[in-house]
Structure 1
């Protein structure tokens, strides 16, 4: 309880904002290459055996990687209840599209090779492609919409009302740009994984496509950053009690352009984030060109870290702005659970996250090495 006293409410809120970012980055890095590989599969695998090689680079690990998605969702639910309520209600159709696409993955892995039919296997190949592309695209679109503000408001008794209409309103120009950036980023990441886990023609095709994806990531990230200077951002116009009650209506907010870049002017060290986004993608591009196995994946991980961190640092302390009622916007200071809840969750995170990292590391050590054609054609290996 002494530690609980030392960690005041404001500090715990910042810690859980950071942990949420860590979990989202962990998901993008660990499960992101699965999505990227699935997206690339029809293009890097020209024969049935090659496509089986591609599938078996992620088949043994994709389920474990989704632990990060579950952790992220659980953290939002427990640490940021209003954020969970608004995002999972307002983005319901988008979430459903992601869920439907993700369901295709385990089904595709399990059933694709059950029949020799070309039509059967090709159909499942494209199902796996959808299972990789759609989540990557929709998640990026969601982030693009968060930066622009989401149509929701709170009533005086803190009931939440989502004022949006359909899924298609999310497909606005900036949202689609963010979606394309997400697809390019994860395609680059998936290509990097394939250079680490394959050889021969699959490896060579992955390098070529990875270079294109890296260039696209750099270009789209730059365009998105410039475009963001023209988009309205949000800032406080009232005094904020950073350790006060979680009531989003206890503030006033101003909407004006260029605000999302003010944190970088006030805290120049934050420029590290966008720099990592660009340098990681550039490093991945150069590593692809130099035919360095594994290095493209490491550099694309750095790029993912930088790009996602850029979004979080640009918006801080906002986590979900409202474009119909700015004072209803959710921030780090007014959308969290109670002081005690955040403390208990922190204790659990300190115990269990290292365990997850340890067993994940062990699994990857056991599965280390490239997947070859002989590995998937040998019946004794039980390959996908």
Structure 2
């Protein structure tokens, strides 16, 4: 009870905003290299053995990595119900496409080697490519749309009405963010493949990673410049009530260019996030060049942290702005679950998240080491 009283509503809302970011970054850092590897598969694997080597680089861990995706969706559902309702209904078709692409992955992993036929296996290789490329692109497009504001409104009963379309999501700035997402995770996948394989496969992965590691900060800087010059940010103009009821309609909101950069002026230490997003990929490039495989993967994860965290701290306290009715915008302070719910969820998270982290670390330790193409060629062990 004492802990419950110490963790007031404002603090719990802030903690769950941070936890949501941690889960999203965890998903990008783990399942991200799986999807990046899948995107690379048809291009750096020149024969069946090489492609099987690439697949087996992620085969033992990809299912466990998806836990972060499930945890992120669960956190949105339980901690931020209005965010879940608006985003999953407004982006329904986009989510359907993502899920359809993700379904291809387990099917492709299981069925690819069921037949010793070149065309059969090539078809499943491209299915894995789709299962990696499509979600990565759409996740980036979704972030681009969130930064611009999503066309939804709330009525007096807090019912959400989405007034956009699927094609409307495919606007230039959103597609730019989608390309950034692809470049970012292909770089991460290349770092993973270079770490887990040897020979020609690792060399080709490094060659692609050297290109995308330079493309990532260029796209990140271009997106930032576009955001500063042409995309309106949001600002609460009324009194900010941090511990009030979850009713977005109780505030006033203004929009203007460059407002997404105001948090950096108020708190300069936050500039560490975009700095990591810009410098991190360049350090990845240097690591790939030097063949410092382990350090390169860690730095790639830090660059992902920087890019994703930049979005979060730029928008804070907004989590889903509305482009057609700014007052309906969802913020950290007015779209969460109740104080009691957030507290109970935090206790559960403090118990189970360390278990997930411990199991993940144990699994990676057991499965560590490079994938041996000669063992796959000789048919030794159980391989995809």
TM-score (norm 1): 0.99
**How many angstroms apart in 1 are the aligned matches of 2:342 and 2:319?**
17
**How many angstroms apart in 1 are the aligned matches of 2:188 and 2:67?**
19
Aligned to 1:93: 93
Aligned to 2:217: 218
Aligned to 2:370: 370
**How many angstroms apart in 2 are the aligned matches of 1:380 and 1:53?**
13
Would the aligned equivalents of 1:195 and 1:294 in 2 still touch at CA under 8 Å? no
Aligned to 1:359: 359
**How many angstroms apart in 1 are the aligned matches of 2:326 and 2:293?**
48
Q: How does 1:259-298 map to 2 (within 5 A)?
A: 259-298=259-298
Deviation at 1:380, TM superposition (A): 4.2
Q: SS of the counterpart of 1:334? A: coil
**How many angstroms apart in 1 are the aligned matches of 2:113 and 2:377?**
11
Aligned to 2:62: 62
Q: Would you say 1:178 and 2:177 are equivalent positions?
A: yes
Deviation at 1:275, TM superposition (A): 0.7
Deviation readout 1:307-351 (Å, 9 max, x if unpaired): 000000000000000000000000000000000000000001111
Q: CA RMSD in A?
A: 0.7
Deviation readout 1:275-333 (Å, 9 max, x if unpaired): 11112111100011112222221111010000000000000000000000000000000
Q: Would you say 1:153 and 2:153 are equivalent positions?
A: yes
Aligned to 1:15: 15
Deviates more, 1:17-26 or 1:372-381: 372-381
Deviation readout 1:64-86 (Å, 9 max, x if unpaired): 00000000000000000000000
Aligned to 1:103: 103
Deviates more, 1:278-287 or 1:142-151: 278-287
Unaligned runs of 5+ in 2: none
Q: Would you say 1:37 and 2:37 are equivalent positions?
A: yes
Deviates more, 1:18-27 or 1:288-297: 288-297
Deviation readout 1:101-127 (Å, 9 max, x if unpaired): 100000000000111111101100100
**How many angstroms apart in 2 are the aligned matches of 1:197 and 1:330?**
42
**How many angstroms apart in 2 are the aligned matches of 1:78 and 1:91?**
19
**How many angstroms apart in 1 are the aligned matches of 2:323 and 2:278?**
29
Unaligned runs of 5+ in 1: none
TM-score (norm 2): 0.99
Would the aligned equivalents of 1:280 and 1:299 in 2 still touch at CA under 8 Å? yes
Would the aligned equivalents of 1:192 and 1:295 in 2 still touch at CA under 8 Å? no
Aligned to 2:205: 206
Deviation at 1:147, TM superposition (A): 0.2
